[in-house]
Chain A
């Protein structure tokens, strides 16, 4: 069973890793077998020099999927058209089958937080955010997916759960979901909800991709640092997703204290093992 769907451009990509600077040398010297690389759009939007060279070299041998951190679907100000135009130019270069960014906000009056701030789970936020997701999708002429974020606060004004909010926004915008299993785990610990119940409530037919990563334990909360191996509870949640969804596009993120490339690939290999095991056990159902 493949999870290729209209939200990921009907792509079945396998297991990829996030492209990070410390790995450039290894990748371009050894050209390792990797199903796909995910790039952070904003790191390549200047379109010149070394980043452009890296991107063009990468595209010679690998599939590239774009993931962004600055669209801020939930922010209240109008989009910066120049930013959207640059994003569209990058989309044309990479040929990404879909584009993902976060279900969050992050700017006020043109000032940027460079953080992924959680939205209040209100009807107003659903309506506002869905409209902005549609605006981006129509401008880029590309499937757009929203990723659930890790959070450290919940708002007194929220009237629904996070998973209900994700469901309502994705349906109102008719967009895909990038399901970050690590973020579900982090938020479940920080807010005391049942992570498995969250996954049960997610409309799986909208899931285009899954993210995996490792957080940091700060004692009174988990911080989404992407600087550790994927912890066991996240693997367990990932298995739950795969058992329900099949061969979902999966991406391992490692953004800080980045180990050698082989170590990151070994961690990604665990996801491949899980996907293969499900494929062997469940393949007869197809």
Chain B
């Protein structure tokens, strides 16, 4: 028997066809002739109907995962537009990671590139997408060993380069999403205690509540003792930390700081929180 004598489609052809079928937009009818060329019917279902089970499960699983990770974005857009955004995102991006946890990694960039999907809430939606992804990073990203002050050469401190903990994200936002998120979570907790319908807002076509008023805030989304925190930063502190995170030497990063005393206070706080790591 030769390698190909027992079949008419290669493994590659079969996998390409099935994968293409499961990524068709939800509800799309899979062409019967193509389906029956690869898949057998059952007593109760045609080949297309059987393939559709996988198509439905694909979209259900991925949308469910993103709904869980971006509940604030859903609040901003309302259920109908949020689902449209997710469908567009998944159609363009797909999933490139073995872990569903990574599925929303490019949501911020996608919102930025597709303002028409989130107008008139573009600024808020973009902030929310980045803020929620930062929480995912803070939840479970690996932590590194922290910088040991005893190991710092005082004569070369200006040349010191550090990296920030992988689990922290620095955000410059146009809305106070830290306060807003905390208030929203409290509201949800109350609702879930009062009603079995925990995810009521998922079916709302319109945003279910008032968006927060604009206000520029600088945040470090991080974790401490395995709990997620949003720490507000001063603008200068945010700029210095961002520069350090880009790999700039300490002297360059601190050049814009107002006074040595302020810098020492910031530095002490960062060390206490374990944010600085050796390169």
Contacts and interface: CB of A to CB of B under 8 A. Distances in A.
Interface of A: 42-43, 45-53, 70, 74-76, 80, 83, 105, 108, 110-115, 117, 119-120, 122-125, 128, 152-157, 159, 190-192, 220-221, 223
B165 to A, nearest CB: 9
A34 B8 CA distance: 49
B187 interface: no
* Residue of B6, B19, B54, B166 with most partner-chain A CB within 10 A: B19
Given A83-B98, A124-B10, A154 B40 contact: yes
B95 A111 contact: yes
Contacts of A49: 138-141, 143, 167, 223, 226
Interface string B77-121: 000000000000000001111111100000000000000000000
Interface residues of B, number: 55
19 contacts: A42-B101, A48-B140, A49-B167, A50-B226, A51-B139, A70-B98, A111-B19, A119-B11, A122-B6, A124-B11, A128-B11, A153-B54, A154-B39, A155-B38, A156-B8, A157-B38, A190-B42, A191-B42, A221-B42
A75 B16 CA distance: 10
Given A45-B98, A111-B23, A115-B61, 10 more contacts: A42-B99, A48-B142, A49-B139, A52-B140, A75-B15, A111-B94, A114-B95, A155-B40, A156-B9, A157-B38
Interface string B1-17: 10110111111101110
Given A46-B142, A70-B99, A220-B45, A123 B58 contact: no
A185 to B, nearest CB: 16
Given A51-B140, A108-B19, A117-B54, A46 B7 contact: no
Given A111-B95, A221-B44, A223-B53, A157 B139 contact: no
A115 B96 contact: no
Interface string B38-65: 1110111101011101100110011001
A116 to B, nearest CB: 10
B31 to A, nearest CB: 15
Contacts of B62: 114
B15 A156 contact: no
B96 A105 contact: no
Interface of B: 1, 3-4, 6-12, 14-16, 18-19, 22-23, 36-40, 42-45, 47, 49-51, 53-54, 57-58, 61-62, 65, 94-101, 138-143, 166-167, 223, 226
B277 to A, nearest CB: 13
B54 A114 contact: no
B98 A80 contact: yes
Given A42-B99, A155-B14, A47 B44 contact: no
A260 B259 CA distance: 56
B78 to A, nearest CB: 26
Contacts of A155: 14, 38-40
B206 to A, nearest CB: 29
A113 B141 contact: no
A157 B54 contact: no
B188 to A, nearest CB: 17
A94 to B, nearest CB: 16
Contacts of B101: 42-43, 46
Contacts of B19: 108, 111, 113
Contact of B58 (A45, A76, A113, A191): A113
B141 A48 contact: yes
A164 to B, nearest CB: 13
A253 B242 CA distance: 45
B15 A108 contact: yes
Contact of B39 (A153, A190, A220, A221): A153
Contacts of B97: 112
B15 to A, nearest CB: 6
Which of A52, A74, A125, A156 neighbours the largest number of chain B CB atoms within 10 Å of its CB?
A156
Contacts of A110: 96
B47 to A, nearest CB: 8
Contact of A115 (B50, B58, B141, B226): B58
> A43, A51, A52, A112 — which one has the most chain B CB atoms within 10 A of its CB?
A112
B15 A105 contact: yes
Contacts of A119: 11
A50 B140 contact: yes
Nearest to B3: A124
Contacts of A83: 98
B96 A76 contact: no
A72 to B, nearest CB: 9
Given A48-B167, A115-B61, A155-B38, A221 B45 contact: yes
Q: Which of B8, B38, B62, B98 has the most CB of A within 10 A?
A: B98
A114 B61 contact: yes
A48 B223 CA distance: 10
Given A46-B101, A52-B140, A117 B11 contact: no
B177 to A, nearest CB: 21
